[in-house]
Structure 1
Amino acid sequence: MRQVPFGATGQTVSELCLGTMTWGTQTPADDAHRQMDMALAAGIDIVDTAEMYPVNPVRKETIGGSEAILGDWNAANPARRGDYLLATKISGEGGVAREGALITGAALRESLEGSLKRLKTDYVDLYQLHWPNRGSFQFRKNWTYDPRGQNKAETLAHMEDVLAEADKLIAEGKMRHIGLSNESAWGTAQWVRVSEDKGLPRVQTVQNEYSLLARMYDTDMAEMSVNEEVTLLSFSPLAAGFLTGKYQNGAVPAGSRMSLVPEMGGRKSARVFDAAAAYLEIAARHGLDPVHMALAWQQTRPFAISAIFGATTSAQLEHILGAADMVLPAEALDEITAAHKAHPMPY
C-alpha cells in the first residue's frame, strides 16, 4: 500500500487509515477485531479513534466505547501494538466528554490517561485535539462563521499551555506526536509558530473533512499543508456514504448512517444528490468503482493525505481495500475537475 509523509517526522503512514467511530454502535466488537486483522494484513498502518466515539448517535454513556474495543484487541495481540500508529483525540467544548469542558494542558493529561487505560496500551502515537477551543467552521458552520469573538492573546496562551503539557507527556513516553482536528489555516499556522518559537512539540497532522463533495481544504489549508509539512487525515472521504451511491433515488438502507441520523449532520440536500450523481456517472463511464475512485482521487492532491474511512462491517472493509494503490486515468480526473466546478459546495 502506498505510503505518505507523516507530517515533518520523517516517518510515513499508509494512504488509508482505519476509522473506528462506529465501533460499539453499528459495528460489534467481534467484527471490529476482524477489521483490525484485515486492515493490518492489507498494509494499513494507522488507526484513528477518539474518546467521544462511538457516534450515530454520540451518547454520554457510550463515551470511550470505541477505544475500549480497540483496547481489547491490543490486549489480545500485544506483539502487534508496534505494527500500527494509534491515533486518538481529546474532546473539547460542547462535547459530551468531561462535561464539555475546554481543552487545557491539564485536561490533555487527564483525557490521555483515560484513553490509555481504555486502549490498554502505554502510549499513543498521535494525540489530537478534536476541535479548537475558539470554535470551528467545520460541520457546515462555514455558512455563518464569525471569528470576531476570538481573543488572539488567549488563543496563543492556550496553545503554549497545551504544547507544554504535550512536551511533558512525550518525555514520559505516553504520547509521541500531537495533531489537530477541525482546524483552520490560521489556527494551524499559529500552532506551528508557537511550537517553533517556544521549542515545543510540533503539530504533525490535521484531521478535517475532505472528499469530492467537501473541498474547503483545497486553498488556504492546502498551502499551509505543503509549506508547514502538516499531513491531512481526511475524514468522511466518501462524504458520509453519499459517494457510494447507496442513498441515491431516495434509498435509505437499513442500519445505514442516514437511517440513524436522517439529516446526515447537515449534509443532506437536493444539491448533494445532484453532485453525487455527477461523480457516480464519471465512475460508471470509466468502469471504476465509485468508492475506489473517491478514495484514489485523494492521492492525486498536491498535499499529503491519509484518508480515514469507516467500515460498518468487515465486508465493507474488504470492498474499500480495493482502492489501495489505484491510479485514476487522466480523463477521469479531468471530468472530476469539471464536476467540481459545476457542483462546488453541495453542503
Structure 2
Amino acid sequence: MRYRQLGSSDLQVSEICLGTMTYGEQNSAEDARSQLDYAVAHGVNFIDTAEMYPVPPRAGTQGLTEQYVGRWLKGVARDKLILATKVAGPARGYDWMRGGPRITRRHIEEAVDASLKRLQTDYIDLYQIHWPDRNVPMFGQTAYDPHAERESTPIAEQLAVFADLIKAGKIRHVGLSNETPWGVCQFIRASEQAGLPRVISIQNAYSLINRTYEFGLAEIGQREKVGLLAYSPLGFGVLSGKYLTPSGSGRISLFPGFGQRYGKPNVNEAVQAYAELARKAGKAPATLALAFVRSKWFVASTIIGATTMEQLKENIGSAEVELGADVLREIEAIHARYPNPAP
C-alpha cells in the first residue's frame, strides 16, 4: 500500500480509503469488525464514515455506522489511523435529524459531539461538510437552478465554527464533499481573508462513468492543494459488471431510486465496453475501474466499500495493479464514445 499527502495538510493517507456506509444496513457489527481488521492489516490507515450513515438514511438506523466503527476503534492504536466523518447538510428531507440538518453553529457543534460519542474517540482527523448548506445540484442533478435558492449560512461563519472546534481539539482538519468549483474557491477565499482553517480535501464522485471532476475542480485542487477523495469509484457497483445481467443484484436493486444517475442513457453501454476491456486485459472489471481512479494524479485516496469479504479483498488488491499505456489509451477511446454518462 502506498500513501499520499492529503492536500496542504501533514496527513499521509493510504491510496485506498475504507468507506463504511453499509455498516448497520447491509453489514452487521461483526462484518464491520472483520472488514476493518482486514483493511488495516493490508495497509489501509484511512477510514471514512458520516453521521447520516448507514444508507439509505433512516431515523431508526442513523448513527449505527459510527457506532460500529467506534466499537472497533476502542481496540486499536488510534494514533495510527486517520478517521474522517461528515456533518449532514440541508434539503434532503431528514427532519428526524436535529429537526432538519443545517450547517450552522448549533448543528455543527451538536453533530460533532454526537459523532465523537458514537466513535468513542477524542478527536476526528478530517471533518467534512457532507453537502453544501446552500442550493447546488447534487447526487445526479446537473443543472443549477437559481429559483431553488434558500437561506444558507455564510461560508465564513461555517469556517469560524470549525476554527473553534480545532482550537478545542475536537477536529484536526476540515474537508468538503459534493462541492462545486465556485464553492471550493469561496471556502479558500474566506479562509485567506479571515485567517480561518483552510479546507484540505474534497470528497466527490469520480469514476470511469463520471469524470466531471476533471472539468474545473482538478485545476483548483492542484493550484490550491485540495486533495480529491474519490467516492463511488465503482458507481454503486455498476462498474463491477454485476448489473449487466438480469440476475444482477446489489444496492441499486435493494433500494430502487437510490442511484438514479446510474440509470441514465449510455451507462450500460459504457459499462459493457469497460467490462470487455477489462477481460481483454486479463483483469476483473472492478479492478480495472479502481486502478484507473487510483492512477489519476489528482486523486489523494480512492474510497472503496464492500458488502462481502470477497469484494473487499478484490478492491484492496487493486492497489497493486498498474494499468499500461495501451489500456489507458483504450479507456480514453471508450470515454470519447460515452463521455460521463453518470454525472
Normalised-by-shorter TM-score class: over 0.9
SS at match of 2:266: helix
SS at match of 1:99: coil
- How far apart are the structure 2 equivalents of 1:147 and 1:234? 28
Verify the 8 A CA contact 1:14 1:46 in the aligned structure 2: yes
Q: For residue 269 of structure 2, what is the aligned residue in structure 1? A: 274
- Extract unaligned runs of 5+ from structure 1: none
Q: For residue 228 of structure 1, what is the aligned residue in structure 2? A: 224
Q: Shift of residue 259 of structure 1?
A: 2.4
**Runs of at least 4 residues off by over 3 Å:** 147-151
- How far apart are the structure 2 equivalents of 1:310 and 1:139? 18
- How far apart are the structure 1 equivalents of 2:72 and 2:295? 33
- How far apart are the structure 2 equivalents of 1:133 and 1:84? 29
Q: For residue 21 of structure 1, what is the aligned residue in structure 2? A: 21
CA shift digits 1:126-156 (9 cap, x unpaired): 11001101133231110x32246558xx86x
Q: What aligned pairs does 1:129-148 form with structure 2 within 5 A after superposition? A: 129-142=129-142, 144-147=143-146
Q: For residue 61 of structure 2, what is the aligned residue in structure 1? A: 62
- How far apart are the structure 2 equivalents of 1:191 and 1:234? 20
SS at match of 1:233: strand
Verify the 8 A CA contact 1:130 1:180 in the aligned structure 2: yes
Q: For residue 292 of structure 1, what is the aligned residue in structure 2? A: 287
- Extract unaligned runs of 5+ from structure 2: none
- How far apart are the structure 1 equivalents of 2:336 and 2:4? 27
Q: For residue 251 of structure 2, what is the aligned residue in structure 1? A: 257
Query: Are positions 1:175 and 2:182 aligned together?
Result: no
- How far apart are the structure 2 equivalents of 1:194 and 1:19? 30
- How far apart are the structure 1 equivalents of 2:278 and 2:41? 28
* Paired residues, number: 338
Q: TM-score, normalised by structure 2?
A: 0.94
Letter in 2 for 1:167: A
Verify the 8 A CA contact 2:32 2:68 in the aligned structure 1: yes
Identity %: 44
Question: Structure 1 or 2: larger helix share?
Answer: 1
Verify the 8 A CA contact 1:2 1:325 in the aligned structure 2: no
Letter in 2 for 1:28: S
- How far apart are the structure 2 equivalents of 1:179 and 1:74? 22
Verify the 8 A CA contact 2:127 2:174 in the aligned structure 1: yes
Q: What aligned pairs does 1:1-347 form with structure 2 within 5 A after superposition? A: 1-55=1-55, 57-75=56-74, 77=75, 79-95=76-92, 96=94, 97-142=97-142, 144-147=143-146, 150=149, 158-253=154-249, 256-266=250-260, 267-269=262-264, 271-347=266-342
Q: Shift of residue 249 of structure 1?
A: 2.5
Q: Shift of residue 102 of structure 1?
A: 1.9
Specify whether residues 329 and 277 from structure 1 end up closer, same or farther in structure 2 by C-alpha distance, changes over 3 A only.
same
Q: TM-score, normalised by structure 1?
A: 0.93
- How far apart are the structure 2 equivalents of 1:294 and 1:140? 20
- How far apart are the structure 1 equivalents of 2:241 and 2:247? 9
Q: CA RMSD in A?
A: 1.6
- How far apart are the structure 1 equivalents of 2:269 and 2:118? 42
Q: Shift of residue 265 of structure 1?
A: 2.0
Q: Shift of residue 230 of structure 1?
A: 0.6
Verify the 8 A CA contact 2:291 2:318 in the aligned structure 1: yes
